[in-house]
Chain A
Amino acid sequence: QVQLQESGPGLVKPSQTLSLTCTVSGGSISTDSYYWSWIRQPTGKGLEWIGRIRTNGNTNYSPSLRSRVTISLDTSKNQFSLRLISVTAADTAVYHCVRESFGSSKWSYGLDVWGQGTTVTVSS
C-alpha cells in the first residue's frame, strides 16, 4: 500500500523559500502511470492545486503560482519536492503531497493517495 509523507520546515520567513519533500513508500515513484502533485489548503479556505510532475519530466503548474513554484523528482530517493520562492503570509497553509493515477489511460483516475499534510506558516 503506497503511502506519502511530507517533511520540511514548519515556519518560513516572508520573502524566503518554502521547501518541502514528499517521501513515497510502498511503491516506486518511477512508474509512468502516475503524476506526483502538491495541493494546499489555507486555514479556513478550500483546496488549491499547486502543480504536478511525471517521471518523464512533464510538469504542470497553477497559473497563479507558476512564476514562483518548482516541483522536482528524486527517483534515487523515491521522493518528490516542492519549492516556492518569495513567500508571503498568503502562502501559509497545510501542504499535501498527492498521487494522481492514470494507469495506461489518457484520463485520470483521480488524486487517489494523499499525504496527511504538513502545516507551513509564513511569519517573521
Chain B
Amino acid sequence: QSVLTQPPSASGTPGQRVTISCSGGSSNIGTTYVYWYQHLPGTAPKLLIYRNSERPSGVPDRFSGSKSGTSASLAISGLRSEDEADYYCAAWDASLSGYVFGTGTKVTVL
C-alpha cells in the first residue's frame, strides 16, 4: 500500500504552471530525501528529481522539486503536451526499511 499521498490528477493548458503535492510522515519525507519519477504510457519510469530538488542531467529546468516538513511538491512550469504522464514521488521509510511510492498523479495537458 502507498504511504505517500498525492492528488489523483492535475491539469493545465500549455505554458501554465502545475504543482503536484506529496504528503508523507515523520518516518519518510520528514527525515529523508524525496524523489520524483515521470511515467509515460508504455515506457519505463524516468527519474525527474533526486534529493528533494536536484535534477539529473538532461531533465529540463521546467521541472523543480521542493520539500517542507513531511510534504514535498513537484512543479512543472511552461507546461507542454509531452509532459502528459503519471508522476510519482518516493522516499525511503526508516520505519519500514524500504522505499515507499506516492499514489501517483496523472497530469493532463488541456
- A residues with a Cβ closer than 8 A to B are 46-49, 51, 60-64, 96, 107-112, 114-117
Q: From residue A102, how far is it (CB to closest CB) to chain B in Å?
A: 11
Interface residues of B (CB under 8 A from A): 1-2, 33, 35, 37, 39, 43-47, 50-51, 56, 88, 90, 92, 96-104
27 contacts between A and B (CB under 8 A): A46-B2, A46-B88, A46-B102, A46-B103, A47-B37, A47-B39, A47-B45, A47-B88, A47-B90, A47-B104, A49-B98, A49-B99, A49-B101, A60-B97, A60-B98, A62-B96, A63-B97, A63-B98, A96-B44, A96-B45, A108-B33, A109-B56, A110-B35, A110-B56, A111-B37, A114-B44, A116-B44
Residues of B within 8 A of A46 (CB): 2, 88, 101-104
B74 to chain A, nearest CB (A): 13
Contact B46 A114 (CB under 8 A): yes
Contact A63 B96 (CB under 8 A): yes
Q: Which residues of B contact A107 (CB under 8 A)?
A: 33, 51
Shortest Cβ distance from B88 into A: residue: A47
Contacts of A61 in B (CB 8 A): 98
Rounded to whole angstroms, the CA-CA distance of A63 and B96 in the bound complex is 7
